[in-house]
Amino acid sequence: MSTRQRILDTALDSFGTTGVDGTSLDALARDLGLRKQSILYYFPSKVALFQAVIDEAAATFIAELDEIVLDARDVWEQVEGTVRVVFRLAVRRPALLGLLREASRPGSTVAVQLTSRLSGHIEAAQHSLEIALKEGRVRGEDARLLLFSLYSTIMGVATEVEVLRAMGIEPSLRSLAERRAELLRFLRVALQPV
Amino acid sequence: MSTRQRILDTALDSFGTTGVDGTSLDALARDLGLRKQSILYYFPSKVALFQAVIDEAAATFIAELDEIVLDARDVWEQVEGTVRVVFRLAVRRPALLGLLREASRPGSTVAVQLTSRLSGHIEAAQHSLEIALKEGRVRGEDARLLLFSLYSTIMGVATEVEVLRAMGIEPSLRSLAERRAELLRFLRVALQPV
DNA sequence: GTCGATTTCTACCAATTGGTAGAGGCGGCT
DNA sequence: AGCCGCCTCTACCAATTGGTAGAAATCGAC
């Protein structure tokens, strides 16, 4: 793997767990077995590196979502696909979810950049939700609120892994799968029209 | 108000919005019209200050919750009370919610402290949820997952304010009240037994 | 007024931060 | 060999970080 890509990968992990402010270029270079000047050779500044990491993270996130969600035939399949993607990321790349949270924090300069990057996907999801609402296939009123609720519920439950880890409890894959199944049941019931 | 209390207040706002790493004692002192040495007079170190802030934040949060939630007669009143408290905090003290997120981030040293501080309330809520589940007054299976889902949903929607602000949109109080009402409808439907 | 405690100040400090300048290694190409 | 472009290095820098030492100011009590 190219040095540039290695830097992006390690930076994502570090930014996602320790935070951007909590990650120094020195520490990052140490993890890579390099000097920080080599990092600054590939990326002109730290914020440039952060933006590149965000860009790549958003790209992979969208790619994973698109692959599963876009060719879903109804809203429920979209929800199911999103849950699958987010949980897979929570297991395989927990730092990515942490990074998304970090970047969407108010005051972050890249928040705008990230949301504009994701806005296409968000609007598409909202649109298909609105249609489903209008046709009565989904229970609810405001598509935007529904979307936010779904998103925050999924993210919250998925990041429960991290919270548990922070409390010193290592969650098993089995318990994670159970939680995912329960979350799906919960969402199905919540979405089902009366 | 005492200087010590002023420091705690300003620190909460700063830590909650800019983050702990993103807040220097110098900047904090500047906001207070002091020198940072005066801060270090009241709190021996920065992490000591952070812990004090967390402690106070958790205390107010719990106090607000207890006041409304504990004398609720059924689970639905508890949920309604929690939503009311969180939304009120999102309007009056948005930094507090940001701080709670910051502190519950994995890798944070105070995460354990915070959760142990809240654990009493969490267990009480989980307990009453379990009873409601057993008696069939609430639809669901795992009380713990249900609790997490409720919590993350409420938090997510409440912090939508911050996300919108980060996108440059100032949400009106009216729209916030609407969202709260919609969230309550959403939760009521999701909890109602069949 | 003055004593003593509480509080806030000036003056430093070592360590770390992100970032610059430029030398040298390394490979392939002619 | 010699050159060149790519990469990584050493050496350094100004600014900022959290924190210390101790001098002044401020205060109420007597």
pLDDT: is A159 or B10 the higher one?
B10
Nucleotides of strand C under 7 angstroms from a protein beta carbon: 7-11, 16-22
- Residue B111: closest C-alpha in chain A: A166
Across A10-19, A123-132, B45-54, B178-187, least confident range: B178-187
Q: Distance between CA atoms of A122 and A119, rounded to whole angstroms?
A: 5
The residue assigned the tokens 């949980």 is: A87
Q: Distance between CA atoms of B154 and B160, rounded to whole angstroms?
A: 10
Q: Give the model's pLDDT for residue A157.
A: 65
Q: Distance between CA atoms of A39 and A77, rounded to whole angstroms?
A: 42
pLDDT at A101 over 90: no
CA distance A109 to chain B (A): 9
A123 touches chain B (CB under 8 A): no
Q: Give the model's pLDDT for residue B14.
A: 93
Q: Could you tell me how many helices (H) and strands (E) chain B has, helices first?
A: 10, 0
Q: Distance between CA atoms of B67 and B81, rounded to whole angstroms?
A: 9
Largest CA distance in chain A: 61
**Closest residue by Cα to residue B46 from B82, B20, B80:** B20
B170 touches chain A (CB under 8 A): no
In tens, the pLDDT along B84-97 reads 888 888 888 888 88
Q: What is the mean pLDDT of residues B105-134?
A: 77
Across A143-147, B74-78, B156-160, least confident range: B156-160
Across A72-76, A136-140, B111-115, least confident range: B111-115
- CA of A31, C1' of D3: distance in angstroms: 35
Q: Give the model's pLDDT for residue B39.
A: 95
**Closest residue by Cα to residue A111 from A50, A188, A158:** A50
Q: Distance between CA atoms of A48 and A42, rounded to whole angstroms?
A: 10
In tens, the pLDDT along B45-60 reads 999 999 999 989 888 8
Q: Which among A123, A148, A176, A192 is the top mutation candidate for probing chain B, defined by the most B β-carbons within 10 Å of its own β-carbon?
A: A148
pLDDT tier, A52 (very low <50, low <70, confident <90, very high otherwise): very high
Percent of chain A whose predicted confidence (pLDDT) is above 70: 85
Q: Give the model's pLDDT for residue A15.
A: 92
Q: Which among A21, A47, A105 is the top mutation candidate for probing chain B, defined by the most B β-carbons within 10 Å of its own β-carbon?
A: A105
pLDDT tier, A9 (very low <50, low <70, confident <90, very high otherwise): very high
Q: How many CB atoms lie within 10 A of CB B49?
A: 22
Structure-block tokens of residue A30: 């140490």
Cβ atoms of B68 and B85 within 8 Å: the answer is yes
- Residue A148: closest C-alpha in chain B: B157
- Residue B180: closest C-alpha in chain A: A145
Cβ contact, residue pair B157, A149, below 8 Å: yes
Q: Give the model's pLDDT for residue A194.
A: 63
Q: Give the model's pLDDT for residue B112.
A: 63
Q: Which among B24, B138, B148 is the top mutation candidate for probing chain A, defined by the most A β-carbons within 10 Å of its own β-carbon?
A: B148
A174 touches chain B (CB under 8 A): no
Q: Give the model's pLDDT for residue B45.
A: 94
pLDDT tier, B142 (very low <50, low <70, confident <90, very high otherwise): confident
A142 touches chain B (CB under 8 A): yes
Cβ contact, residue pair A19, B19, below 8 Å: yes
Q: What is the mean pLDDT of residues A111-117?
A: 69
pLDDT at A167 over 60: no
Cβ contact, residue pair A152, B148, below 8 Å: no
Q: Distance between CA atoms of A154 and A86, rounded to whole angstroms?
A: 7
pLDDT at A179 over 90: no
A115 touches chain B (CB under 8 A): yes
Q: What is the mean pLDDT of residues A48-56?
A: 92
CA distance A100 to chain B (A): 12
Q: What is the mean pLDDT of residues A25-50?
A: 93
Cβ atoms of A111 and A105 within 8 Å: the answer is yes
Structure-block tokens of residue B176: 């916030």
Residue A89: partners with Cβ closer than 8 Å, 6 or more residues away: A61, A64, A96, A97, A158
A98 touches chain B (CB under 8 A): yes
Please state the CATH superfamily assignment of the domain spanning residues B50-191 in this structure. Tetracycline Repressor, domain 2 (1.10.357.10)
Q: Distance between CA atoms of A11 and A27, rounded to whole angstroms?
A: 10
- CA of A3, C1' of C17: distance in angstroms: 24
Highest mean pLDDT among A143-147, B12-16, B86-90: B12-16
Q: Give the model's pLDDT for residue B160.
A: 66
Nucleotide nearest to B22 (CA to C1'): D17
pLDDT tier, B8 (very low <50, low <70, confident <90, very high otherwise): very high
Q: Is nucleic acid strand D under 7 Å from B42's C-beta?
A: no
- CA of B27, C1' of C13: distance in angstroms: 20
In tens, the pLDDT along B18-38 reads 889 889 999 999 999 889 999
Q: What is the mean pLDDT of residues B58-73?
A: 83
Q: What is the DSSP string of A61-123?
A: HHHHHIIIIIT-SSHHHHHHHHHHHHHHHHHH-HHHHHHHHHHTSTT-TTHHHHHHHHHHHHH
Q: Give the model's pLDDT for residue A25.
A: 95
pLDDT tier, B192 (very low <50, low <70, confident <90, very high otherwise): confident
Q: Give the model's pLDDT for residue B43.
A: 94
- List chain A domain ranges: 53-191
Residue B22: partners with Cβ closer than 8 Å, 6 or more residues away: A21, A107
Q: Is nucleic acid strand D under 7 Å from B40's C-beta?
A: yes
A53-191 CATH: 1.10.357.10
pLDDT: is A146 or A64 the higher one?
A64
Structure-block tokens of residue B101: 């997120």
